[in-house]
Amino acid sequence: MLDEPDRSRTFRDADVVVLPAEAAAAVVQHARFCFPEEACGLLAADPTGRITMVYCLTNLDRSPVRYTLAPAEHYHAWRHAEARGWELVGVFHSHPRAAPVPSARDVAGALEPRWFHLIVGHVDTAPRLAVHRIVDGRVTSLDLRVEG
Ligand SMILES: [Zn+2]
């Protein structure tokens, strides 16, 4: 029982997010595909905390400086994850020409304190990934480990 993963701790309290290389590549690829607009999507994990799926969603804003997840696609991603015993654990979006640091809009719009916020910055030159937690308007940078 000691080895049983505690799902509630895995992403809420962890200061490291482990991302499979394939998931990182999918996020960067979606960001490139949507360039120069912001890309966005969701990430699911299994009960052990392993990232199992990257959902590339439509950015309803079609904007280079902001994003809104398409609600119907968000719902379908949630249904897809739930059916497999997974949980949505994070949201990602891109900063096409800026650093992967949450904007004031990102902070104000962060409604799910349990999620991590993965940002792909500098899609125009050298894409860089960074992950943050945003709780009550406070941003905490987390360590990101890409594996595999
Ligand atoms: Zn942003």
Expressed in angstroms and rounded, the spacing between residue 119 Cα and the centre of ligand 1 is 7
Banded pLDDT at 1 (limits 50, 70, 90): very low
Expressed in angstroms and rounded, the spacing between residue 99 Cα and the centre of ligand 1 is 9
Q: Specify the CATH number for 7-147; select among 3.40.140.10, 3.40.50.720, 2.120.10.90, 3.40.50.1000.
A: 3.40.140.10
Q: Decide: 41 and 58 in contact? Cβ < 8 Å.
A: no
Centre of ligand 1 to C-alpha 135, Å, is 15
Q: Which of 19, 23, 59, 21 has the alpha carbon at shortest distance from 41?
A: 59
CA dihedral 17, 21, 25, 28 (to 10 degrees): 30
Measured CA to CA, the distance from residue 97 to residue 33 in angstroms comes to 14
0.85 exceeded by the pTM?
yes
CA of 3 to the centre of ligand 1 (A): 36
Please, which residues have CB less than 5 A from ligand 1, an ion? 103, 106
pLDDT band at 12 (very low <50, low <70, confident <90, very high): low
